[in-house]
Amino acid sequence: MKRRLEGLEGAGSEATGVGGAVGAAVPAQGVPRTGEIVGLTTAEVAERVADGRVNDVPAQSSRSIGEIVRANLFTRINAIIGVLFGIVMVVGPVQDGLFGGVILANTMIGIIQEVRAKRTLDQLAIVGESRPRVRRDGKRVTIGSSEVVIDDTIELGQGDKVVVDGTVIAADGLEIDESLLTGEADPVLKLPGDTVMSGSFVVAGTGAFTATRVGREAYASQLADEARRFTLVNSELRNGIDRILKFVTFAIVPAGIALIITQLMVNDDDVPEAIRRMVGGLVPMVPEGLVLLTSLAFAVGVVRLGKRKALVQELPAIEGLARVDVVCLDKTGTLTETAMDVDRVIRLEPGLPVEEVLGALGAADERPNASMQAIVDSHPAPEGWERRANAPFSSARRWSGATFLRPSGEEDSWLLGAPDTMLPAGHPVLATADSHGSLGLRVLLLARSSRPLGALQDDPSAVPGSAVPCALVVIRQRIREEAPATLRYFAEQGVAVKVISGDNALSVGAVARSLNLPGADDPVDARDLPDDPKALADAVEKHSVFGRVGPQQKRDMVLALQSRGHTVAMTGDGVNDVLALKDADIGVAMGAGSPATRAVAQIVLLDNSFASLPSVVAEGRRVIGNIERVTNLFLTKTMYSVLMALVVVIAQVPYPFLPRHITLIGSLTIGIPAFFLALAPNSERARPHFVGRVLWFAVPAGALAALATSVSYMYARSVYADDLDAETSAATLTLFLTALWALAIVARPYTWWRVLLVLTMATSFAVVLVVPYLQEFFQLELIGTSAPGAAVAAAAVAGLVLEFVWARSRRRLIDG
């Protein structure tokens, strides 16, 4: 491996001489620039790839196809249904085994949809992955993380994520934040010879390091691999369904055992019929489609968001965004475009080479941020200016600087940054800066320093007394076209918006006012916020626009909102947003943002469009709201099945249904409608206490269905004596009508297609009752008018009572 690293030892000793303090200025003279490093040759890379010394840990954004098949096929519910299906197939006839085909079809649908979601995730993950810049054959090459080999030379700049472990070989004010690994919030200054760990990220400066550990040997590879997995658990919704299934299991086991014994006793002269009736009672107790439709709704959500270029790195984020009631926005890159333009330069001290200094500062920055890039675009680099020392920009300091030796032989240190950070309060230049900031313009101060850069970084409080103002650089920011409509959407949905930015509070407030954001007329300087958590929470609750917010403050503000019971989403694109993104309930990063922000965010907007966020929120609400709808239906079925079994056990009578009847009712009132309802639009904001709300409807609905069906069945037994088929037909009519009424309630509010869906299910059942072949196939025939009339009357009474229960539950939801 060849590198031109002349003067490296000297650079290391000089850097160490500043005391190794965080943020210490690194002398530029003698330090190898990353452009001087040759790196590996093509042959050396090929040799390491052949030996397997490559960063071969795939970014697993989804489960493998094998895992998907196993997860959908080999489930406890499928095992129970499979055993019952096998039993029915032994005693026949085939129409009593229809429920087995339904389960198989549902499982295949689940597998197909999740495979689609996997392909979408995998394709988007490739677009959104960190792509490090390495030196090979003396050239800078951008590659995928998995293409890094041992001994590769990897360049680093502000916002870059460290993708493998390594040793620093060149550093120019390089500061690494290792808080995601160690929990230590303060950035660490890295010098040649120091170690960097995968999972950390650059907050200031530039540098390069040699990869020493790659693949599964890297420090954070297991952590990163696990964090990016496609998961269907660890969410309030999934946890709630798991709790419901546990309750159901406790109810099913005793009811099922009692039903088995009863049916064998009651039908002791016809064992096959007893078995069929037993299976007919057990099958509907199992909410077989509930978990499937939950997974299906999530998977379809991933596909839909993928079409909008939104990468869901953690699946529960879809659900989390549906619950969000506060969105924290960083201004730059979110409300405004990342690109900026220099509007004007206001000279404060005549006779100074302001244009040349700005050009030199821009040329000295290998990885300019948006503000510096605007300066680079408008000020060409002067000739003959030699950089002697450098203090890279840091979000915590809010300024950068460099020492130059000019062609005239003069050596000066220059600072560029926030005026209110670099000048003492009350300085007359601040009034000029504020007058421009109040118009929504970003203002930077160019100043000469009377002290060495290293001393200022060691003691930032000395900057206001050492900076001699020379010029104000006024930068115009471009407001995103989609920002007004997006903010209007959140206002309509009752989601509070907090703008928290590192820029001047007046400038942030002006931008917010131009977007008609509530509270924009009262922007707050975050440096004046209290340290006390309770007082901070009060301030963040009261105000909407904050400026001069540091990285740690952004995190504290997110935590303060969470302490008040809010579900907080944080959006950002810069390295100063990483800590807040990590601690927010949902972190949303822009695709063009720093690799560090993309790494910790749950959702990445790959098209960099803030307008995509409402779509993501809407998708989450669709998933949550619709799963709650179908859960009501499935638990209603489980409840009436368990209660019917208890009635049969107590009354010592045959179970009123065969498996074919339960399959027919379940398909028309739950299975088919639930499939459409689970994927329908839904804009209701998700609310907590999912389990309680579902049980509040499903328990009384199931009880009413069981009561009405039992009354109809017992009356039919008195009318038809021992004609079990006629008795079953009357009971089936009552149960179908009651379940259909429950479906009609759950389908509200009505749209044309929901009305059509309910009517189609009713018509389908009517067709079964009037078509002779279907009558015989499903063993259904209504005889006379007395029992059928009583069946309809019982269903009508149950439906009216259910309407009262639904109205009570809706009032309880609104009040709660």
Alpha-helical regions (H) of 601-656: 612-651
Q: Tens of pLDDT along 215-227?
A: 777 665 544 444 3
Q: Tens of pLDDT along 177-200?
A: 776 666 555 678 888 888 888 878
Pairwise CA distance, residues 134 & 667, whole Å: 58
Task: Say which residue the tokens 């220099």 belong to.
Answer: 342
pLDDT band for position 802 (50/70/90)? very high
Pairwise CA distance, residues 313 & 488, whole Å: 27
Q: Per-residue pLDDT for 798 more than 90?
A: yes
Closest CA to 214 of 365, 329, 349, 48: 48
Rounded percentage of the chain residues whose pLDDT exceeds 70:
87
pLDDT at site 331 = 78
pLDDT at site 254 = 81
Q: Per-residue pLDDT for 797 more than 80?
A: yes
Query: What are the residues facing 390 on neighbouring strands?
Result: 26, 402
pLDDT band for position 59 (50/70/90)? low
Q: Are 666 and 761 in contact (CB under 8 A)?
A: no
Q: Tens of pLDDT along 246-271?
A: 777 777 778 778 877 887 787 766 77
Residue 130: partners with Cβ closer than 8 Å, 6 or more residues away:
145, 160, 161, 163, 595, 598, 599
- Per-residue pLDDT averaged across 77-92, rounded? 79
Mean pLDDT: which of 99-113, 131-145, 698-712 is highest? Answer: 698-712
Q: Which domains does the chain have, with CATH numbers?
A: 8-61+129-227 (2.70.150.10), 234-297+618-815 (1.20.1110.10), 310-335+481-608 (3.40.50.1000), 336-479 (3.40.1110.10)
Pairwise CA distance, residues 790 & 800, whole Å: 15
Q: Tens of pLDDT along 639-690?
A: 888 888 888 888 888 888 888 888 899 889 988 898 888 777 776 666 667 7
- Per-residue pLDDT averaged across 694-721, rounded? 90
pLDDT band for position 11 (50/70/90)? very low
Among residues 96, 330, 503, 585, the one annotated as catalytic is 330
Closest CA to 34 of 192, 218, 198, 201: 192
- Say whether 62 sits in a helix, a strand or coil: coil
What's the pTM? 0.69
R_g of the chain computed on alpha carbons: 34
pLDDT at site 29 = 39
Of residues 391 and 788, more confidently modeled: 788
The structure tokens listed for 754 are 């929901």
Of residues 457 and 553, more confidently modeled: 553
Q: Per-residue pLDDT for 7 more than 90?
A: no
Q: Tens of pLDDT along 290-311?
A: 777 777 777 777 778 877 778 7
Q: What is the dihedral of CA 106, 108, 110, 112, to 10 degrees?
A: -150
Q: Are 324 and 568 in contact (CB under 8 A)?
A: yes
Q: Per-residue pLDDT for 541 more than 80?
A: yes
Q: Kindly provide the b/e burial profile for residues 339-348, where b requires at least 16 CB atoms within 10 angstroms of the residue's own CB.
A: ebebbebbeb
Q: Tens of pLDDT along 483-492?
A: 888 888 888 8
Q: Per-residue pLDDT for 544 more than 80?
A: yes
Q: Per-residue pLDDT for 10 more than 80?
A: no
Q: Are 32 and 211 in contact (CB under 8 A)?
A: no
Pairwise CA distance, residues 390 & 332, whole Å: 25
Q: In the 8-state DSSP scheme, what is residue 161?
A: B
Q: Is 330 a catalytic residue?
A: yes
Q: Which residue type is seen at 157?
A: G
Q: Tens of pLDDT along 602-615?
A: 888 877 777 777 87
Closest CA to 165 of 176, 183, 150, 185: 150
